[in-house]
């Protein structure tokens, strides 16, 4: 912006007012002069010109005061526009603002600055989260891929060295390959769910779910994993016909994350934390009350340290167990907690080191969803 632009801006803004002021003076003088003629008492032209001059001088004086009161603010605006000043200079504008309208304008700008700063911080937080998550995901993919490559090489060697290899030998290799394939699939699903969670409001669909049958289906989907890990599941309910109102897919995600943690950490250990090699049990209990339905998952595995329980739902947090399990991502319980929050479900965790972990899902009885559920059922029919 060129030098003196502030005065030009002020003059352009006030030009209309000055024109109307001049018109007002001319009309006033004309009325006075015509009145003098009508009453045969004409006013000398010199006195009329003197009155006009006096009015213009006083108006010029008032405009000068008006301009110089605004000049610091306008000059600072001109300076900041030329220098492309940072948003922090809004405080300097507030100091230079002497008029109420200027202070209101600066407060509005500060509100915009605050909102923009918050938006930038949210974007930066999300960017950092995805950068960290993508890096962690890439590293997690390396291990299963390397193991798969080794297992395939081992299978080729067995077939080349011993074409008559027993089915049990080949079966062990195939089971190992299947386990690594399952880990790859779970990691990819975790990444996809993390992305989908950002658009949760467009992906949720509340339905009626027979919760006991729903949980049995999820547990039975992992038969091979239960057998491989020697963890035997049990599902029991005080009301086999209990129904909850929530999103089936996202509730399934929460339950899946809890079950996957049981596969990884649900094996029994002794007081020193060493694996005993004995089989273990995993319990899924459903209890109902007037205001909620509770799903309680209990394993008798390695448990968690008390200091880790408080941070169990933080993203990328693996705790003490993560140090002994290099494949831990720290995303499973975070995804479960974020999904539960969006569904209006309460998720609680309690754990005792070397004894086991209990995860409780509390689904409130949502009576306000009944009209919505009924309408959805009518649409489907």
229 domain residue, yes or no: yes
- Is 191 inside a domain boundary? no
pLDDT computed for residue 162 by the predictor = 66
CATH of the domain at 215: 3.30.565.10
Do the domain assignments include residue 159? no
pTM > 0.75: no
Per-residue pLDDT tens digits for 19-69: 888 888 888 888 888 887 777 777 787 877 888 888 888 888 888 887 777
Tell me what pLDDT residue 26 has: 82
Could you tell me if 111 and 220 lie in one domain? no
Percent of the chain with pLDDT over 70: 69
Q: Which residue has the tokens 């209890």?
A: 287
Same domain for 217 and 105: no
Residue 212: count other Cβ atoms within 10 Å of its Cβ: 20
- Verify that 239 and 352 share a domain, yes or no: yes
Give the end of a domain, one of 99, 116, 133. 116
| Neighbouring C-beta atoms of residue 231, cutoff 10 Å | 22
- Cα(269)–Cα(247) distance, integer angstroms: 36
Statement to judge: residues 248 and 376 lie in one domain: yes
> Which residue, of 116, 149, 182, is where some domain finishes?
116
In a domain, residue 144? The reply is no
Query: Does residue 217 sit in the same domain as residue 105?
Result: no
* Residue 79: predicted pLDDT: 65
Please give the pLDDT value at position 325.
59
Counting beta carbons within 10 angstroms of the beta carbon of residue 329, is it exposed (0 to 12), middle (13 to 18) or buried (19 or more)? Answer: buried
pLDDT mean across residues, the chain: 78
Separation between Cα atoms, residue 51 and residue 242, nearest integer Å: 94
Based on the fold, state whether residues 220 and 357 are members of the same structural domain.
yes
**With a cut of 50, which residues of the chain have pLDDT below it?**
1-3, 202, 368, 370-375, 379, 381
- When divided into structural domains, the chain yields a total of 2
From 66, 88, 116, give the residue that closes a domain: 116
- Token pair belonging to 263: 């596969």
* Upper half-sphere CA count for residue 86 (Cβ side, 13 Å): 2
Q: What is the pLDDT of residue 103?
A: 67
- Predicted local distance difference test score (pLDDT) of residue 102: 65
Structural domain includes residue 330: yes
CA distance 329 to 139: 10
Do 225 and 374 share a domain, yes or no? yes
Q: Which of 42, 23, 19, 22 is nearest to 32 (CA)?
A: 42
Residue at 96 is within a domain: yes
Do residues 367 and 254 share a domain? yes
The answer to whether the CB of 279 falls within 8 A of the CB of 232 is: yes
Look at the block and give the residue holding tokens 């938006």.
119
φ and ψ of 168, to 5 deg? -65, -40
Does one domain contain both 222 and 109? no
CA dihedral 156, 161, 162, 165 (to 10 degrees): -30
Dihedral over alpha carbons 137, 143, 145, 147 (to 10 degrees): -160
- For 250, the enclosing helix (H) or strand (E) is helix 248-265
The predicted pLDDT at position 150 comes to 75
Residues 371/376/380/381 CA torsion (nearest 10 deg): 0
Edge-to-edge strands, sheet with 231-237? 231-237, 280-288, 292-299, 356-364, 346-352
Q: Which domain holds residue 280?
A: 207-380
- If asked whether residues 247 and 356 sit together in one domain, one would say yes
The answer to whether residue 184 is domain-embedded is no
Residues 212, 286: contact at Cβ < 8 Å? yes
Amino acid 3: pLDDT: 47
Is residue 44 one of the residues assigned to a domain?
yes
Task: Tell me the β-bridge partners of 360.
Answer: 296, 348
């Amino acid at each position: 912006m060129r030098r003196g632009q502030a005065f030009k801006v002020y003059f352009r803004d006030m030009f209309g007012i000055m024109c109307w002021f001049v018109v007002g003076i001319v009309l006033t003088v004309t009325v006075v002069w015509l009145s003098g003629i009508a009453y045969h008492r004409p006013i000398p032209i010199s006195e009329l010109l003197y009155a006009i001059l006096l009015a213009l001088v006083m108006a010029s004086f008032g405009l000068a005061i008006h301009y110089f009161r605004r000049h610091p603010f306008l000059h600072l605006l001109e300076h900041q526009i030329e220098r492309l000043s940072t948003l922090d200079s809004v405080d300097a504008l507030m100091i230079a603002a002497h008029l109420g309208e200027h202070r209101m304008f600066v407060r509005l700008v500060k509100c915009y600055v605050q909102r923009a700063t918050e938006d930038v911080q949210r974007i930066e937080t999300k960017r950092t989260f995805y950068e960290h998550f993508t890096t962690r995901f890439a590293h997690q993919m390396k291990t299963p891929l390397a193991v798969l490559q080794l297992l395939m090489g081992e299978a080729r060697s067995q077939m080349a060295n011993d074409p008559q290899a027993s089915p049990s030998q080949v079966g062990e290799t195939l089971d190992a390959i299947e386990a690594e394939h399952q880990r790859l699939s779970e990691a990819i699903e975790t990444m996809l769910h993390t992305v989908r969670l950002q658009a949760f409001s467009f992906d949720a669909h509340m339905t009626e779910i027979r919760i006991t049958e729903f949980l049995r289906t999820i547990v039975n989907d992992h038969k091979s994993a239960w057998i491989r890990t020697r963890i035997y599941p049990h599902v029991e309910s005080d009301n086999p016909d209990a129904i909850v109102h929530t999103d089936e897919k996202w509730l399934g995600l929460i339950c899946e994350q809890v079950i996957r943690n049981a596969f990884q950490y649900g094996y029994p250990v002794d007081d020193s934390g060493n694996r005993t090699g004995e089989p273990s049990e995993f319990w899924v209990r459903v209890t109902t009350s007037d205001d909620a339905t509770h799903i309680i998952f209990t394993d008798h595995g390695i448990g968690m340290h008390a200091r880790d329980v408080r941070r169990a739902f933080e993203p990328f947090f693996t705790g003490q167990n993560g140090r002994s399990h290099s494949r831990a991502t720290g995303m499973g319980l975070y995804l479960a907690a974020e999904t539960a929050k969006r569904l209006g479900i309460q998720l609680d965790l309690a754990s005792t080191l070397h004894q086991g972990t209990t995860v409780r899902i509390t689904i409130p009885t949502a009576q306000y969803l009944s009209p919505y559920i009924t309408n959805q059922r009518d649409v489907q029919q």
